[in-house]
Each structure stands twice: as structure tokens, then as C-alpha cells.
Amino acid sequence: MSHTDEPRTDGGEPLSDEQLFGQLAEKDRVELSRKERYSRALDAYVLAPARVAWEDWRMRFGIFIITMFVFVGVVGTRLVPRPGTNQAPNNLQPFQGGVSAIWEDGGWIDIGLEHSYSFQYFSIPGFDLEYPLGADNYGTPIGRNLVHATPDMLEMVIAGAIVSVGIAALIGITAGYKGGKIDSFLMYITDIVMTMPGLPLIIVIAAIYPPRQAWLVGVVLAIDSWPGLARALRSQVLTLREESYVEASRTMGLTSKTILSRDITPQLMPYILINAAHAGRSVIFGAIALYFLGILPFTTANWGIMMDTAYSEAHALVNLANFYQIFWPMAAVVVISFGLIMFAQGMDRVFNPRIRARHAKKVGGDGESVDN
């Protein structure tokens, strides 16, 4: 006898399975309007991750640094004049005049109503800056060079990170989930690329087809940086595909594309994004090194070219009076790399489902607003 066949204690007729489960399903059903569905989606996918990110100081710090470089690359280049030779005295020291320049005329800063700092389209009265970061051996202002080199550096970082992480994710996740001959074939290609010497390969490619666009430099530098991540992602997917929720999705008849996009890839996003930040750093270091060695063509302003000029023309590592010429581009590389590391560490919390659920206010959070 099933539990539904047992007589009711109040003497009434026993309920059928359809009646019993039908009543429970009806009770649990919550009708949501379109506005409520959009509100829940906005809270789950935008506001909750933003709250998690804002509570992590590493994320705030990383976003601040990256935003600062993006602002300089987008807005700064429209405000600061383009760099050129003989715009300033040769080998002009940074902050010429020191602290006393603040209250004395001349030097790197002048304060007073008679002074104004002119941008390309407007001016700010009350102060004037005169090449605060100094000038190089050819009288090119270092500050202007740094500002106008930023867009190309950002372009290289974005292109290199997308290519490196994109190829690794596509090959690693597909190989791990599909298995069989597809896995063997993709890992065979991965192992071939992994065994190639990366730096000589990039030098040969750059010598045969010199990349002149910044994004193309990033793509070339990312050619050999994806196999390690692809191998690591494949190993992660081999474990995830045996999880009960993935097995349930397969039992329900969901397609491989749906399972990969909804069940497996989100679990790998923290690892992928952390590696994207590291790939961006690798592109920066690789580009700086190749420009410094003179392997990549000198086409536009670049932090590596600035370091090469400081080393070869101003002898910055021997003549310490000119060390500032190599210090400023080096400082820019260190700061943006540090920002990418902080951003990647903060993203680890953003993609943690438990932390994100605690910050969701509409559903599942501490401030539950939907009556169950």
C-alpha cells in the first residue's frame, strides 16, 4: 500500500499522487512580471557582482589603476600635445627647481593668477606645469611620451589577452568535455606548440612579418602563451564533467553547447580571468623587451622604445643623472602590472557563487525581498 492509499485521519478520501503533487507545485509556483524578472537578472548578474567587487580593496585598487590608464589612453591623448623633439631642453631633469619652484617663478611649476595651464582646447588658470617629468636626450618631454604611448600598450594587452585566453579556453574546454579522438587531436596540437621555443619563434615571425599595428604585436606575442592554460583547463573540465549537476543536464537532454556555457565554463571563469591578467602582463613584458632589443619596428611612441632610447642614447644605466629617463617608463610598466594582478585577485571573489549569493538582495541574499 502506498502512502496515498492510506485512509486519512480525518475520515476523508485519500488524495491521488496527481492531486498531492499538483497542489504542491501550484503552491510553490511564483508568478513574476517582466519587470520583476529583469530586476532579478539585474541584481544577480550586475549589482551583486558589483557589491562583491566594491567590498574587496584589491578589486577597487585594480579597477582604479586600470581606469586611470584607460582614462589617460582615451582622454589624455586628446588633452596633452603630441611629443616631439626639441620641445624642451635636452636632458631636462624632472621637477626642475625642486620644491622651491612652488613659490618661485621658473622651474617645473608656477603658481599665481598670472599663470595658466593650457591644454589643447582650454586652459586652467592659477598654475602652470613645465615638463614635470623632464625630457630625454632629444628634448622630447617624457610625460607627453608616456601619455601617447598608453593607447598602443592597452591595445597590445587586450589583443594578447583575448587571443591567449580565447584559444586556451576553446581548446582546453572542448578537449576535456568531448574526450576521445577530439581530445587526443587537440592535445597533440597543444603539445606541438608547447615544445616550440617561444622567444625564437616570435623573433623569427617578427623578422619575416614585422607587425606594425599595436594589436598585431599583441597577437604575435600571445602565439606561444596558450598551451599551458589549455592543458590546465582540460584537467579541470575532466573533473567537472563527472559532477552530478553536469550528469543531470546530460540526462535532461541538454546540448553540449548549453552544458559547456551554463554548467562548466562559469566554474572556470575565476581561473580564466586570473590567467587573462597574467597574459596581459606577459604581453607587456614581452613587448617592452622586444622593443628594447630593437626586434620590433619603431612605429609609434612606446614605453619599450623610451627605455631603449634612454639606454642607448642617454646611457641611463651608466650615467645616473639620466636614470630618470628609464625610470618613468619602467614605473608605468610596474604600476599597470600591479593593477592587473590586483584586478585578477578581486575577480576570484566576484565569481565565487556563495559570496555572490550573500550579496544578492532579490533572491537568496541576506536581504531577501521575495516572499516564499
Segment 341-350, tens digit of pLDDT? 888 888 777 7
* pLDDT one-digit tens code per residue, 262-310: 888 877 887 888 788 888 888 888 888 888 888 887 766 788 888 888 8
Dig out the grid coordinates for 254 from the structure: 541538454
Q: Is the pLDDT of residue 25 over 70?
A: no
Q: Is the pLDDT of residue 368 over 50?
A: no
Going through the chain in order, the beta strands assigned E by DSSP cover: 109-118, 123-129
pLDDT for the residue 189:
92
Going through 174-278 in order, the beta strands assigned E by DSSP cover: none
In 43-121, which residue ranges form alpha helices assigned H by DSSP?
A: 48-55, 57-71, 77-79
Average pLDDT of 96-117?
79
pLDDT for the residue 66:
92
Amino acid at 318: V
The H-or-E segment that residue 290 falls in is helix 265-293
Dig out the grid coordinates for 353 from the structure: 557563487
Q: Is 141 helix (H, G, I), strand (E, B) or coil?
A: strand
Q: How confident is the model at residue 146 (pLDDT cuts 50, 70, 90)?
A: very high
Q: Which residue would you say has higher pLDDT here, 331 or 12?
A: 331
pLDDT for the residue 276:
85
Q: Which of 354, 366, 357, 338 is nearest to 62 (CA)?
A: 338
Q: Is the pLDDT of residue 366 over 50?
A: no
pLDDT for the residue 43:
75
* Under 8 Å between Cβ of 218 and 156: yes
Cell 636632458 sits at which residue? 91
Residues 6+ apart with CB under 8 A from 352: 52, 270
CA atoms of 302 and 309, how far apart (whole Å): 11
Dig out the grid coordinates for 227 from the structure: 598551451
* pLDDT one-digit tens code per residue, 231-240: 999 998 988 8
Q: Is 90 helix (H, G, I), strand (E, B) or coil?
A: coil
Q: How confident is the model at residue 372 (pLDDT cuts 50, 70, 90)?
A: very low
Average pLDDT of 18-47?
65
* Under 8 Å between Cβ of 288 and 332: no
Q: How confident is the model at residue 71 (pLDDT cuts 50, 70, 90)?
A: very high
Q: How confident is the model at residue 362 (pLDDT cuts 50, 70, 90)?
A: low
Dig out the grid coordinates for 238 from the structure: 575532466
**Long-range pairs of 365-369 with CB within 8 A, sequence gap ≥ 24:** 365/48
CA atoms of 325 and 95, how far apart (whole Å): 13
Cβ atoms < 10 Å from Cβ of 23: 11
Q: Is the pLDDT of residue 6 over 90?
A: no
Residue 124's DSSP bridge partners are 117
